[in-house]
Amino acid sequence: QVQLVESGGGLVQAGGSLRLSCAASGRTFGNYIIGWFRQAPGKEREFVAGIRWSDSRTAYSNSVKGRFTISRDNAKNTVTLQMNSLEPEDTAVYYCAARPAYSIPYSQGEYNYWGQGTQVTVFS
How far is 48 from 64, CA to CA, in rounded Å?
A: 7
Which among 69, 114, 73 is positioned nearest to 95, based on CA atoms? 114
At residue 94, the pLDDT reads 98
Mean local confidence (pLDDT), 75-89:
97
Mean local confidence (pLDDT), 65-81:
97
At residue 44, the pLDDT reads 97
- Per-residue model confidence as pLDDT tens digits over 42-60: 999 999 999 999 999 999 9
Q: Which residues pair with 81 in a beta bridge?
A: 20, 70
At residue 43, the pLDDT reads 97
How far is 103 from 82, CA to CA, in rounded Å?
A: 22
